[in-house]
Structure 1
Amino acid sequence: MSWDDLRLFLDVARLGGLSAARATTGLSAATLGRRVTALERQIGETLFIRAQTGFTLTGAGEALLKRAEDVEAAMRAVTHWRDGAIGARVVRVSAGGWTTDFLSRHIEELWSPDDGFRVEFVTAYDKVDIGRRAADIGIRNSAPTEPNLAGRKMTPVAYALYCAPRLVAGVRDGLFVGVTGPAAATASARWLQAHHGDRIVVSGNDTHSVRELVAAGTGLTVLPCFIGDADPRLSRIRGPIADLAAHQWLVLHHEERHSPPVRTLADRIVRLMVAHAKLFAGDIS
């Protein structure tokens, strides 16, 4: 049994399915499915109950999860020993695509090579299981409800309709660009489908491709204001959508929140977002 197979198993188990695990593994759902099936054959046990809503661990899957996490901890210890001072700790940050985009563009305010820890971004549209250490820091649009998690309320987040300023192509005809795939489960994607689903003519399963389609004049779409207002290629149609108003929450494991690397990065994320509170709130006054 290889460590690579166990690592894939951990991602699927923690994220609850193949679609969510695509972002962390870089593999297609079909490839992940084949690898999981091969692992089950090798072990001789069914590890997951498969359903349209996701994957649930069987009793054998739960037993393997505990052992795989022990292997993961051992592998991390070996990696840390090998790397020495650099990467003494990897801090994993889980967030949606747009928030990850924002954090990446401000990485100099969050991390430097002198920090003594590394940062890994885990882009996911479903909740990543911080309780099982699938991530160290989570950024969500609601307060945590799981046990052993601590939450800190941050900035309000606004959403609005955006399009290219030129009245061309789909913009001229009042057509929309939709979202498919894992991102379709987000509140903004559901709102767009509910209010303008009959006028969605082009869709993308990647949020960044959706933005490029909108910037090219294909149609309108819903974007968080901290993305739409910051892109000079886009124009906001009207004020923020009241139904989509939310707050960003910083989520930490109750025990891990006292770890110096985790605490340092979490504090920097809070400061960064507070400094850009008007952008997140859609305040362009």
Structure 2
Amino acid sequence: MDFSWDDLRLFLDVARLGGLSAATETTRLSAATLGRRIAALERQLGEPLFHRSQTGYRLTQAGEDLLARAEDVEAAMLSLKRWKEGAIGERVVRLSAGSWTSMFVAGNIGEVWTVEDRFGLEFVTAMQKVDIGRRNADLGIRNQRQTEQWLAGRLIGKVAYAIYSGRELINGIKAGYFVGIAGDGGQTHSARWIEARHGDRIAVRGNDAVSVRELVANGAGLSVLPCFVGDSDERLVRVAPPIAELETDQWLVSHHEERHEPAVHTVAERIAALMRQHAPLFRGERPNP
């Protein structure tokens, strides 16, 4: 009997999360599609894998048996992936974060990675959460505590936000206009805050973090930026105290099975130390004069 690794991976998600609805987020499949795939796997095995109820999916004895074996396959696939990475040079640690945080870490790369390290580092920059459960990243810096049971995380700091202007009162800044954020970036809490309070005064928009900063610095209008960004740019000036309702936590997240892997652990410890070192900047305690 041949098993598909893709089907086993879907089974693992449903089993660990206790149902189809919860697994739709990690698998990016609809509940109906997941249900069909699980049913097909059960037909292939010739017995049910779950007790189904309104409260969720509970494993049968056959499901428990398959879970143990599927986890062995998962470990083997992970080992194969690491072997492949090793064959082309070094272990690669993938770090996911939003645009600003990725730029900050990149700007301090010597604190996180050096040529003496026996591993490489890959930045996975995205506005949305990158799926660590599926090993699309090894580490993630997030603004919310992890809820997935297979992830481990620790609080590494707080991030403050404030309104910034360019230093010259010209153009949109002089008129009191705001720079908005389009595209995926428009879904962040700071972008929604601008829309809710100053949407009628948005004249220009950028669809990525860097363009918004450049627009503000060059007079297109005011905007909300993380304090560690605005206070580090000499072209910008903070025009009001940090916005209390926008302050977020900063969490460092990893897969619980990989957090003690030497390369992942090393990068995690260095990132945590880097954030501790610059904690006042992230908390908005170092405004530009």
TM-score, reference length from structure 1: 0.74
> Helix, strand or coil: the match of 1:279?
helix
The aligned residue for residue 211 of structure 1 is 213
Equivalent of 1:82 in 82, 88, 112: 88
Larger displacement relative to structure 2 (229-238 or 72-81): 72-81
Please name the residue that 2:4 is paired with. none
> Aligned to 2:215, what secondary structure does the other structure show?
helix
Gap runs ≥5 in structure 1: 1-53
How far off its partner does 1:70 sit?
Answer: 8.3
| Paired-residue identity, % | 52
Alignment of 1:274-285 (within 5 A): 274-284=276-286
- 1:148-227 mapped onto 2 (5 Å cutoff): 148-227=150-229
Partners of 2:85 and 2:92 within 8 A in 1 = no
Q: CA deviation at 1:184?
A: 1.1
What is the aligned-residue RMSD (CA, Å)? 2.6
Alpha carbons of structure 1 residues 55 and 256: separation in structure 2 relative to 1, 3 Å? closer
* Structure 1 residues 259-278: aligned runs within 5 Å: 259-278=261-280
Q: 1:132 aligns to what SS in structure 2?
A: coil
Counterpart Cα distance in 1 of 2:222 and 2:77: 47
- Partner amino acid for 2:249? H
In 1: Cα distance, 2:81 partner to 2:151 partner: 25
Deviation at 1:79, TM superposition (A): 4.1
The residue aligned with 1:28 is none
Q: What is the rounded CA distance, in whole Å, between the counterparts of 2:276 and 2:283 in structure 1?
A: 11
Secondary structure (helix, strand or coil) at the match of 2:134 reads coil
What is residue 29 of structure 2 aligned with on the other side?
Answer: 56
Alpha-carbon distance, 1:173 to partner: 0.5
Residue deviations 1:23-74, cap 9 Å, x none?
xxxxxxxxxxxxxxxxxxxxxxxxxxxxxxx9535348899xx99x988874
Correspondence for 2:67:
none
CA–CA distance in 2 between the matches of 1:205 and 1:133? 28
Partner of 1:91: 93
Output one character per residue of 1:65-108: Cα deviation in whole Å (capped at 9) or x when no partner: x99x988874653342232xxx2x11001101000010000001
Matched residues in 2 for 1:127 and 1:244: separation? 19
Q: Distance in 2 between matches of 1:128 and 1:70?
A: 23
Alignment partners' CA distance in 2, 1:166 and 1:279: 24
Question: Equivalences for 1:245-256 in 2 at 5 Å?
Answer: 245-256=247-258
Query: Any gaps of 5 or more consecutive residues in structure 2?
Result: 1-26, 41-69
* Per-residue deviation, 1:142: 1.2
Equivalent runs, 1:16-165 vs 2, <5 Å: 56=29, 58-59=33-34, 74=80, 77-83=83-89, 87=90, 89-165=91-167
Aligned to 2:62: none
Give the count of matched residue pairs.
228
| 2:259 aligned counterpart, secondary structure | helix
The aligned amino acid for 2:176 is G
Report the Cα distance in structure 1 between the residues aligned to 2:138 and 2:144, rounded to whole angstroms.
17
Structure exhibiting the larger radius of gyration computed from Cα positions = 2
Q: How many Å apart are 1:227 and its aligned residue? A: 0.2
Q: How many Å separate the matches in 1 of 2:205 and 2:79?
A: 40
Rounded Cα–Cα distance in structure 2 between residues aligned with 1:118 and 1:142: 27
**Alpha-carbon distance between aligned partners in 2 of 1:141 and 1:130, rounded to the nearest angstrom:** 15
**Separation in structure 2 between the aligned mates of residue 72 and residue 250 of structure 1, nearest angstrom:** 21
Equivalent residue, structure 2, for 1:36 = none
**Post-superposition CA distance 1:183-229 (Å, at most 9, x none):** 11111111111111111111111110110011100000000000000
